[in-house]
């Protein structure tokens, strides 16, 4: 059987994990997309979007509502080997809707990257930009992120263990009296 300290520490870790998952799932539902967060990794959209800006993307089902001038997130057409963030510069309506995009800092659209964007390539529309907070993602790449998680878990565990020792000092004795908490 586990000691009370260990079981409390396990409970604390479980609460943190459940809390993080609940927030993540809530954001996925609120923004109607599998991943609502993206970090800008190139200067193709400067000065509007800068490297390490965090983008919040909403609703991958808005493809039919996209207009010229909207900034969208999409998978590179056909190969889906990169996620790209560019501005819509043209929309062609034929048997299927096809978008053409361009990075604001790019001189022209790049074939195979900026077009043809179909509904299958589309991820969502940028709805919020949080400037420069993406630097954090650069700092917490593996293995540093694992070290940070281990430190947080250790703090939770030792905090709970020290809390248990302090609360045990004034606990009732077997005869119903209490032991003194001071010297």
Residue 176: pLDDT over 50: no
Provide the sign of the torsion angle of the four alpha carbons 97, 102, 107, 112, taken in this order: negative
Is the CATH code 2.10.109.10 the one for domain 32-132? Answer: yes
> What pairs with residue 99 in β-bridges?
91, 117
> What pLDDT, in 10s, does the model give residues 60-107?
678 999 999 999 999 999 899 999 999 999 999 989 999 999 999 999
Angle at 133 between CA 66 and CA 26, to 5 degrees: 60
E-assigned strand segments in the chain? 37-39, 54-58, 71-75, 83-93, 97-102, 122-130
* Segment 122-138 mean pLDDT: 89
Residue 48's contacts (CB-CB under 8 Å, 6 or more residues apart) are 71, 87, 104
Beta carbons within 8 Å of 14's beta carbon, 6+ residues apart: none
Q: How far apart are CA 98 and CA 121, in angstroms?
A: 10
CA distances from 131 to 36, 38, 84 (A): 16, 12, 18
Choose between 183 and 124: higher pLDDT.
Answer: 124
pLDDT above 90: residue 182:
no
Where exactly are the structural domains of the chain?
A: 4-29+137-165, 32-132
Q: CA nearest 99: which of 125, 75, 124, 68?
A: 68
Q: In what order do the strands lie in the sheet with 97-102?
A: 37-39, 54-58, 122-130, 71-75, 83-93, 97-102
Tell me the backbone φ, ψ of residue 144, rounded to 5 degrees.
-60, -40
């Amino acid at each position: 059987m586990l000691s009370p300290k260990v079981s409390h520490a396990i409970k604390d870790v479980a609460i943190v994990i459940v809390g993080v998952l609940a927030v993540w799932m809530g954001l996925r539902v609120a923004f109607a997309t599998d991943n609502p967060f993206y970090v800008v990794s190139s200067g193709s959209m400067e000065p509007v979007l800068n490297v390490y800006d965090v983008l919040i993307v909403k609703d991958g089902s808005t493809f039919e509502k996209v207009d010229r001038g909207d900034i969208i997130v999409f998978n590179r057409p056909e190969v889906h080997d990169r996620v790209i963030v560019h501005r819509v510069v043209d929309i062609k309506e034929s048997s299927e809707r096809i978008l053409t995009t361009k990075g604001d800092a790019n001189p022209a659209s790049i074939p195979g990257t900026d077009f043809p964007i179909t509904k299958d390539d589309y991820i969502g529309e940028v709805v919020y930009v949080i400037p420069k907070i993406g630097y954090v993602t650069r700092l917490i790449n593996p293995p540093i992120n694992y070290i940070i998680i281990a430190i947080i878990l250790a703090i939770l565990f030792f905090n709970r263990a020290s809390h248990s020792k302090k609360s045990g000092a004034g606990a009732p004795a077997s005869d119903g009296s209490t032991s003194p908490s001071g010297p």
